Amino acid sequence: MDTEVKDFIEAIKEPWQAELAHQLRQMVHEAIPEVKERMQYKKPHFLKNGKYAAVISTSKDAVSFTIFNASGLEMPDELFDGPPERKTLKLRKGDTADTELLKPLVIQASSTL
């Protein structure tokens, strides 16, 4: 795991955002054991074979989790936004990261990278 990504998550001011970011990071590492992570554009990016698999970003009132290579995945439209090739889940205070839903999606999306 990359120390810059770790430092980024630890520096998130809102505890609920830091917890969600930590949970999402752990889930990505479980879903893609060979994943590489790095900070890019001031956000943690997760790569498989040099290609984007996922990204975590924070804003004032949300934590966003984007899954790349998402074309063809069956995802709940009410939860995810974005074009077919990348889908974003926006989590707000009080939301939970449904890793049981997300992990299989990340596995499937990254399987062809």
* pLDDT tens digits along 28-39: 999 999 999 999
pLDDT tens per residue, range 16-74: 999 999 999 999 999 999 999 999 999 999 999 999 999 999 999 999 999 999 998 98
Q: Which residue, among 59, 12, 35, 9, has the nearest Cα to 113 in the 3D structure?
A: 35
Query: Measured at the alpha carbon of residue 32, what is the angle toward residues 29 and 37, in degrees to the nearest 5?
Result: 60
Lowest mean pLDDT segment, chosen from 1-5, 7-11, 45-49, 107-111: 1-5
- The count of residues in the chain is 113
State pTM to two decimals.
Answer: 0.94
Position 78 pLDDT exceeds 90: no
